[in-house]
Every structure is written in C-alpha cells, then in structure tokens.
A and B are shown apart, each in its own frame.
Chain A
Amino acid sequence: MPSSDSPQSQRGRPALAARGLVKRFGDREALRGVDFEVEPGEVVGLIGPNGAGKTTLLSILAGIAAPDGGEVRGDGVAWVPQHAALYRRLTVAENLTLFARLQARAGQGEAGPAERVARMLELTGLADRRDDRVGTLSGGNQQRVNIAIGLMAEPAVLLLDEPSVGLDPAQRARLWEFILGLVGGGTAVAFSTHDIQEAERYAARIVVVADGESVFSGTGDQLRQAVEADGGSDPAGRDDLETSFLSFLHRAGH
C-alpha cells in the first residue's frame, strides 16, 4: 500500500519534475502549462476524463514525446505503455533478455542483463513460465512482464499508462501487489487510470487533469473536502470519490 504520509509534508528533491508543459496537436492544445512532480517512493495517480491529456503528459514525462513548451527534469525514468509492448512470439525470458540487453547498452541500470532477467522472473513469479511464449500468457501475466521490463532498468521513476485496463479484479489486485512490492525500495510511481477507486486505493496522491490542465493535486480526502467546501457534496459525507470527482469537474467547468 502507498505511504500514508502526506507528500507535501515530506517535500525533498523530486524524482521527476515538470514545469509549464505545453503540447499542441495542430490547433488543439493537449496540455496547457501543466506542472507535475513526484517524490522518491511516492505513488501518484493521474485521473481525468478521456482526452484530458493524461497519456500526453506521461509520454512527455517519459521522453517519448517532445513538449512544445515547458521543461522536464529527472533521470532514470521508465515508461510502461498501456498495451503490453512485448513480442508475442518470443518467450518471457527472451523478451526480458532483449530489453535487458538494450537497457544495458543504453546505460540504464547497473546489473548485468542475465542478473536483471533472473531477478524479474523471480519478482513476477513467472520463473516457471520463462520459456512460454508471451502470446500464450493471460492479460494479467502479460502486463506483469510489461511492467517488469520497465523495472529492469532499476528506474528512479516508473510511469504507467493505465496499467490495469482490461484486467479482472483478481488480476488487478495481484498486479498492484506486484507493483507496490517492487517500488518499496524508493522507486517513484506515476500512473494514469479511469478507475477513481483504483487511484484512491493505490495512490498516495491524486492529480486531476482536465482539458490539458492540472486542476487538482492531493489525496482523495482532500478532493472530497474541496468539493464539500464548495457546497457540491452530500453534507452527510456519503459521496464516494467518483461522485466528488465528477462534482469537482462540473464545478470547475470541465
């Protein structure tokens, strides 16, 4: 589970920080001056409506897309795409070995490729399926391999784009157990999701992105309080976070 300490109370040097990010696709502004940061060992959930700019923000933070404005600071960032970026005809071990070799050649991480692969096979619990082709694995196991590849480089920051999409509740729980177990050593995690409950359950801090802007950053309780203070919530406090989130967006004009 994420740390219960408020990130704001432990502010140190962020593992990853972005200031004033702007991204345009033609005439459309996908990001409009977004600030973002994540501390070492912190888990941040990015939520927002479809097209809000979550994936664009993660892509820029990962260095895959270049921003039209603003800057990103942070080293050792690994990115895990939404859909498993794996070679389905290769085995689990072959996929891990390929990316371990490429990461080693790119100077990512210190351990050798064989050591990384052995560690990830152990961590993912897929050692007994190392010689199975990835295409024969379940969606949950494919996602574990997908994330393991991101973690093999021993990153300071792990960026996950909707990591649990398409998984059933049991698979999702196992996946988060796996992620949180891996990040216990101080790796920062930022993930996007459409599942508000998932964000509240696993993230220490929630960032709400809407229409290309970061409109909220805090815990789930802080989001409820913000809505309640604005008179948009059930006074009896029966609202779940999703209701508060929708109310927040409505009152913020999104």
Chain B
Amino acid sequence: MRWLLLKDLQILRRSPAQLALLVVYPVVIALLVGFALTRGPEQSTVALHNATPAGTTLGVGEDQIDGEEIRDQLCDRVDCVDAASREEAIELVESGEATAAVILPEELADQIRSLASLAPQHPKIEVIVNRSDTVENQVVDDRIESMLAEANLLIAKRLSEAAGRYLELIRSGGTIDLLGRKIEILGLENSEKILRKLADKVPPGQDRAELERALRFAGLASENLDLARPMLTAITQPIAADKTEVGGEAPSLDTFAIAVTAALALMFVTVLLVAGSLALEREENAFTRLTAGLAGRTQILLAKLGLGTVVGFGVVLLLLAVMTAFLPIQWSRAPLWILAAAVAALSFAAVGSTLGAVTGEVRAASLGAIMICLPLALLSLVPDDAVGPAVEAMIGVVTALFPFRPSLDALAGGLEIAGSGTWLNLAHLLILTAAYAAIARLALRRF
C-alpha cells in the first residue's frame, strides 16, 4: 500500500493544474466563505430628513432630547444619510442609494411635548421605503420597526423620568421653573406637617375631625405617590427579556466560520482528489494490471483513503495556518481539532472512493462529486429553525448520511467546545467511513 500511496503522491506532484484545482481553488473559495460568514450582514442605508426647526429639543419640561440624540438613536442600527429636504430623501430612496427614508416632521417637537399635557397628540414620523428589492424589503421593515421601537423607548423613558420628578415634587415639595419664574410647590408631606401642627391646636370637634380627614388623605397620597415612580418606570418597558440558554453549547461565530471554511475545503479537495484518482486507475488500465497478483482491491482502496486523508489533512492545516492571520484559532486545542480534521478527511476520502469506484471515469466522478457535495453541504448549513419540522427531519436524515455536518460539528467542537458532542461526531464520521468504504469495495468488484 505504501508504494501505491507514494505513486499517487508522485502523480499529484506532477500535475500542477490538478494541484491548483484541487488545493488552491477550494482554499480560496473556503477563505471567501469564511470571511463572508464573519463579516456579518451589511447595514442598510437610510436617508434621514430632520424638518424640526434648528435647535429644537424634543421632550417634556427639563427632560429634553436634542436632535443629535434622536439621530444617534435612529441611526444606531442603520447607516444614515442626511437629506436636506423630503424630496431629496425620496430621491435617495428612488435611486437606490438608500433603501428607506425617515422624515422627522416640523411639528414633531410640539407633538412630543403634548404628551405631557392634558391634550396629548400622537407624534408621527414618515417612513418611505423602496420595494423594488425583494430580499431587502423584509430586512428594511425589521430595521425600521426596530429603530422606531428604540426611539419610542427612549422617549418613553424620558417622559417617565419627567413625570416621576413631577410626582416627587408634588409629594415632597420644591421649586419648579415655569416661563422663567421659580414657583414653589409645598408638597403633600409638608402639607401634612402643617396640618398636623394645626390639628394639635384645634380642640376636638367638627373642625378637628375635618383636619384629621385631610391629614389622612395627605398621608395616603404621599405614600401612594411614592409607589408611583417605579410603576411609571415599569410602564416604559413592561416586559423585559431574561434569556436563559438551554441545549448544547454553540460555537462563536468566528469558530463557526473557521469550521465551515475548513470543512468545505476538506470536502472538495478530498472527495474530488480520491474520486478522480481511483477513476484514473481504470482509465489508465492500471487497475487490472495491479489486481493481477500485484495488489488486492482492498489495498488499492486503502491507498486511496490514505491519499485523501494525507492531502485533505494537509490542506486543512495550511488553511488554518493562513486563517490565524484573520481569525482567532486556539492552537492549545490543536490535538483535538487535528484529530477532527484527520477523521473528517478520512470520511470524505471514503465518499470520494465510492464515487470513483461507482463511476469509473474521472469526468463522471468529478461531476458527481460536485453535484453531490455542494447541495449536501448547503443543506447542512440550513438552520434547524428555518424550516418546518417535517423538512427539518428530512434534512437531518440526509445530512446525517454525508460527512459534512458531522465534520463541521467535530471541527467546531475541536476548535472551541469540549464535551461528548465532539466524540460523538467523530464516532459518526467513523461509521460513515466504514459504510462508504464498504460500498466502494463492493463497487471495485466490477470496476
């Protein structure tokens, strides 16, 4: 088997074009995929026209929100482009430079102030969206709803805080600025104290009873207003999310990207190489000569598995070494992810040997490798919650029969997460290796 493996490596070394196709190309593709995954989604661009008069603050009493603060809040999750007018904002959307426009109307400040008056208005902002991009529509809708929710929350908090201070003033007393004049507010607590002093001086009778009633009211009002402040705060965000994570530990996005990149490169290199190499034995008529007393079919198969494992593993090591310049890789965990990469390479080599043995032609084997590997790898990347239960179960079965998903999980586990999951994935890969190798061996009987 050693000489057969050496021969395959010699042939590989003599084929620069094949080396480029089987190694460089998948590595480049895998790197691109990895970077794309780590970069995250692009932010949408939104045109913003603030029509409120310059210097206008939005808010109630002392709690003012200036235009910049509102802008920062709105533009936290989108890239904002300032528009000088409503028309310019619409043009930006129509031209595609912005996927949506947000117009803050001139009367917005008054409308917000009115929220604290006896005749509150309903503040509104105008949103203009471009519906020509099907994919982006949903994203933009979600972003704008999120933007408005954030802005509403900010305003509600400020209103709540202002209202709380007014209530505190009513309860404890103090001064308030109104139209440039300081007005003193006595407050319920002070009123109660004054009334108490007076009550002590009033003899029992009708007047004393009336004072006692006023005292009880002032005391009750003071106590209850004390409870009103936390209630107001709670109203601004009545439901808070307390996240508890259950189930298996998931890798970080960076680790997931590294694992996806490595698994893709490993899959393409190993499957294509082994499938083509085995089919080449037949195309060059060497298989019959080898099996005429020089090497058994099992030995030839094992040599191909060795070839795929050695080359695939080497490519993954090279890939990870290059990726350390861009993404964090824990070299201290190398023994585990090296084992994962080696077992994954062996498993993909078994798939490649099956394809090569079944097709018996280099072209057919290569085409089959692409047609089978690509969709199965993509299926393996579909999130479980993205499809219904029936489709999820079907995808689960299909991807469990192919080494990509367990390779991805084993690599991710080796790179970041310790635990029994990684070992289960390795066992899964070994079972798949045995199954595919058995199919390949059967196919070699009629090769």
Where the two chains meet, the residues of A that have a C-beta atom closer than 8 Å to any C-beta of B are: 62-64, 79, 81, 83-90, 94, 98-99, 101-103, 105-106, 108, 133, 149
Residues on B with beta carbons closer than 8 Å to the beta carbon of A84: 285
Instruction: Report yes or no: A89 in contact with B11, Cβ–Cβ below 8 A.
Output: yes
Which segment, of B92-100, B125-133, B287-295, faces chain A? Answer: B287-295
Cβ contact of B286, chosen from A63, A64, A86, A106, cutoff 8 A:
A86
Please name all residues of chain B whose beta carbon is closer than 8 Å to the beta carbon of A94 when the two chains form the complex. Answer: 7, 10
Q: Is B3 part of the binding interface, using a Cβ–Cβ cutoff of 8 Å?
A: yes
> A63 to B292, Cβ gap below 8 A?
yes
Q: A87-B284, A87-B286, A102-B3 are in contact. Are A64 and B292 (CB under 8 A)?
A: yes
Given contacts A81-B285, A85-B286, A102-B3, contact A90 B293 (CB under 8 A): no
A123 to B3, CA, bound (A): 24
| Distance in Å: Cβ of A205 to nearest Cβ of chain B | 24
List of B residues within 8 angstroms of A98 by Cβ: 3, 7
Q: B4 to chain A: which residues have CB within 8 Å?
A: 102
Which residue among A63, A84, A87 has the maximum number of chain B CB atoms within 10 Å of its CB?
Answer: A87
Question: In whole angstroms, what is the CA distance A225 to B286 when docked?
Answer: 42
Closest 4 CB pairs of A and B: A85-B285, A85-B289, A102-B294, A89-B14
Query: Do A81 and B294 have beta carbons less than 8 Å apart?
Result: no
* Known interface pairs A79-B289, A89-B11, A106-B295; 16 further A-B residue pairs with C-beta atoms within 8 A, sorted by A's residue number: A63-B292, A64-B291, A81-B285, A81-B288, A81-B289, A84-B285, A85-B285, A85-B288, A87-B286, A89-B14, A98-B7, A99-B289, A99-B294, A103-B294, A108-B293, A108-B294
B252, CB-defined interface residue at 8 Å: no
| A85:B284 contact, CB within 8 angstroms | yes
B121 an interface residue at 8 Å Cβ cutoff? no
For the complex, is B15 an interface residue (Cβ under 8 Å from A)?
A: yes
Q: How close is A86's CB to chain B, nearest CB, in angstroms?
A: 7
Check if B284 sits within 8 Å of A102, measured CB to CB: no
Chain B interface, number of residues (Cβ within 8 angstroms): 18
Contacts of A99 in B (CB 8 A): 289, 294
Contact call B288/A106, Cβ cutoff below 8 A: no
Main SS at interface, chain A: loop
User: What is the minimal beta-carbon distance from A221 to any residue of chain B, in angstroms?
Assistant: 35
In the assembled complex, which residues on chain B have CB atoms less than 8 Å from the CB atom of A62?
292
When distances are taken between beta carbons in the complex, the residues of chain B under 8 Å from A64 are: 288, 291-292
Task: Provide the residues of chain B in CB contact with A101, threshold 8 Å.
Answer: 3
When the two chains form their complex, are residues A83 and B14 in contact, meaning their CB atoms are under 8 A apart? no
Question: Is B285 within 8 A of A63, CB to CB?
Answer: no
- Choice from A85, A89, A106 contacting B293 with Cβ under 8 Å: A106
A55 to chain B minimum Cβ distance, whole angstroms, is 11
Contact mask for chain B residues 150-167; partner A; CB cutoff 8 A; 1 contact, 0 none? 000000000000000000
Q: How far is the CA of A133 from the CA of B286 in the complex (A)?
A: 16
Question: Given A83-B285, A90-B7, do A63 and B293 touch, yes or no (CB 8 Å)?
Answer: yes
**30 A-B contact pairs sorted by A residue (CB < 8 Å):** A63-B293, A64-B288, A64-B292, A81-B289, A85-B284, A85-B285, A85-B286, A86-B286, A87-B7, A87-B11, A87-B286, A89-B10, A89-B11, A89-B14, A90-B7, A90-B10, A90-B11, A94-B7, A99-B289, A102-B3, A102-B4, A102-B290, A102-B294, A103-B294, A105-B3, A106-B293, A106-B294, A106-B295, A108-B293, A133-B14
The listed residue (B3, B15, B289, B291) touching A89 by CB distance below 8 A is B15
Would you give the shortest CB distance from A171 to chain B, in whole angstroms? 19
Known A85-B285, A98-B7; judge A90-B14 contact (CB<8 A).
yes
Give A108 Cβ to nearest chain B Cβ, in Å: 7
Q: Is the CB of B292 within 8 A of A102?
A: no
B290: chain A residues within 8 A (beta carbon): 102
Most buried by A among B3, B289, B291: B289
Cα-based distance from A85 to B283 in the complex (angstroms): 9
B276 to chain A, nearest CB (A): 12
A88 to B14, CA, bound (A): 10
A90 to B9, CA, bound (A): 11
For A86, what are the chain B residues with a Cβ–Cβ distance below 8 Å?
A: 284-286
B1-40: contact bitstring with A at CB < 8 Å (1 yes, 0 no)?
0011001001100110000000000000000000000000
Per the bound structure, the CA–CA distance linking A106 and B7 in Å amounts to: 17
Write out the residue numbers on chain B whose beta carbons fall within 8 Å of the beta carbon of A79.
Answer: 289, 292
Cα–Cα, bound, A88→B286 (Å): 10
A87: chain B residues at CB < 8 Å are 7, 11, 284, 286
Give the residues in chain B near A81, CB-CB below 8 Å.
285, 288-289
* Smallest beta-carbon distance B333→chain A, Å: 39
Task: Kindly provide the distance from the CB of A6 to the nearest chain B CB, expressed in whole angstroms.
Answer: 31
Residues of B within 8 A of A108 (CB): 293-294
Instruction: Give A108 to B292 CA distance when docked, in angstroms.
Output: 12
**CA A106 to CA B14, docked complex, whole Å:** 27
- In the bound assembly, the distance between CA atoms of A149 and B285 in angstroms comes to 13
Closest to B289 in A: A85
Alpha-carbon separation in the docked complex, A98 to B288 (Å): 15
A159 to chain B, nearest CB (A): 10
Q: Known: A89-B15, A133-B14. Is A102-B295 also a contact (CB below 8 A)? A: yes
CA distance A88 to B283 in the complex (A): 11
Residues of A within 8 A of B15 (CB): 89
Nearest CB of A to B118, in Å: 91
